Amino acid sequence: MPYTNRIKSLEESRRLVENQLFLLEKSGSADPKRLAELREASVKYNTELRQMIRAQWDHDHETVNLDDDR
């Protein structure tokens, strides 16, 4: 599973960014520039995470066992 560690890292990074974003939005006095940066980082992590999950799925399913006698 070559992508597992990267997927876990991206999930953790995304969680941390979303928690920061939630806390800043909740406070009400957040810097709009900082909020935009965090939203952009969240989108970046989500995009890469989807790509890694797809790559892992492709890797796991790239071969078909034709000798299966089911």
Write the DSSP symbol of residue 61: T
At position 45, the amino acid (one-letter code) is Y
pLDDT grade for 62, boundaries at 50, 70 and 90: confident
State how far the Cα of 59 lies from the Cα of 62, in Å rounded to an integer. Answer: 5
For the chain, the structural domain boundaries read: 4-60
> At residue 27, does pLDDT exceed 70?
yes
pLDDT at 70 over 70: no
pTM above 0.85, yes or no: no
Residues 6 or more apart whose Cβ sits within 8 Å of residue 16: none
